[in-house]
Structure 1
Amino acid sequence: KNGDPGRIAAQVVTGIGFLGAGAIIQMKGSVRGLTTAAGIWIIAAIGMAVGVGLYWLSVITTGLILVVLVVMERWEHYVHSGVESRIIRIKLSVIAEDIEGYREVLARHHIHLSNVYVEYDYMEPVTRLNLVVLVRERTDYMKLFAELRDVKPTIAISLGTQVSI
């Protein structure tokens, strides 16, 4: 017997799903490897198409995938050129219940807030905010920090590249 092609395809999909899940990595609030996982899956699909004799479909699909990946990479580079990930650390002399004022200041400066890490020290009382942001290279940090300082009673503000809680 030749075997059941449907069962073979199902096992390929299962195995490739496992490999794709291994390619997806989550680190400190960001997910990486989705494009790699999708690439592994589509390559397996193209391989199965070749295996059943769909050569032209495989060639056309390969071409489309290459075009999409190249175009999307260029578009992403264009959109994110000059953008850096930074951490704004703010130490407050109060326990902050909300950060809406900080969101408004960042929005006025066209800064994208991607994540927030908060630490409360009820003994002092102190709040430490780590705001993970995407900023343009030309951001005026002095003006930004002055506006952030005015939101709540502030002890210190600093800029970094890694979260430290």
Structure 2
Amino acid sequence: MAVWHIGLTEMTLRLLLALALGGLIGFERELGGHSAGFRTHILVCLGSAVIVLLSMYGFAAFATDPNVRLDPARLAAQVISGIGFLGAGTIMRTGPTVSGLTTAASLWVSAAIGLSAGAGFYYGAVISTILVVMSLFVLNKIEKLFSRSKTVRELLIKMEQSSSGVGYMLAHLNQCGLLINKLSVEVDEESAATGDRYLTIRLQVKLKKAQKYEEAIAKLIGMEGVVGLETASLAA
């Protein structure tokens, strides 16, 4: 039956299309320095196309056998469920912060685009790629604008206990527009044992402008009594 056969030119076109579309999505991830980048997305998209081509045309020799019922969607369904393990490997959790979710989702949609290209659903594959690239490039900037007011940073400051800089430090943060959500002050036990008493100050601050935060940190480093400083981003 002709429906179970495909020409070499058509097959090559579908595989090249899958390679190009997967590369477009991977290019954005590569620019962002993510764990799954250009080559990974190409391989996922291309591999999905190969599998759906195999599912549709790889068993054409058995199409006329009355005891065989071909299902071109069977292997494709396994790709959609199986790609999850690769996406899970890109998700990282560091304390309260979770990263890699967008990359995992981009791998999943790359598999879907590869299946579409391999099945000859050209318009769906191309328009999906355009929408995905727009989402990653354009919506990423919009998301950052809306998330600025939700950004929470943690500060760990080590200061000399004898200094009078704690009050000055808090006043400085307020002047920079940083809202203090949480504050804790502890005496460093190790330093107390040696006779040099230091305070460990933990702060969670909410900021609206990253530039203001950078300016505040730069001034804190040079502040009298400050002997150590660490900062990290937290999930809002």
Q: Are the aligned partners of 1:116 and 1:130 in contact in 2 as well (CA < 8 Å)? A: yes
Tell me what 2:230 maps to: 160
Q: Which has the higher contact order (CA 8 A, sep 6+)?
A: 1
* Superposition deviation, residue 59 in structure 1: 0.5
Q: Are the aligned partners of 1:88 and 1:157 in contact in 2 as well (CA < 8 Å)? A: no
1:138 aligns with 2:215: yes
Report SS of the residue matched to 2:93. strand
CA distance, structure 1, for counterparts of residue 121 and residue 185 of structure 2:
54
Structure 1 stretches lacking a partner, 5+ long: 94-104, 144-154
CA distance, structure 2, for counterparts of residue 53 and residue 115 of structure 1:
56
Q: TM-score, normalised by structure 1?
A: 0.56
Which one has a larger percent helix, Structure 1 or Structure 2? 2
Match of 1:3 among 61, 65, 71: 71
Q: How much is the aligned-residue C-alpha RMSD, in angstroms?
A: 4.8
Structure 2 stretches lacking a partner, 5+ long: 1-68, 162-171, 193-197
Q: What is the identity, as a one-letter code, of the residue corresponding to 1:130?
A: R
Tell me what 1:68 maps to: 135
Report SS of the residue matched to 1:53. coil
Tell me what 1:89 maps to: 157
Tell me what 1:39 maps to: 106
Q: TM-score, normalised by structure 2?
A: 0.42
Bigger Cα Rg: 2
Report SS of the residue matched to 2:115. helix
Aligned residues: 142
Q: Are the aligned partners of 1:23 and 1:33 in contact in 2 as well (CA < 8 Å)? A: yes
Which one has a larger percent strand, Structure 1 or Structure 2? 1
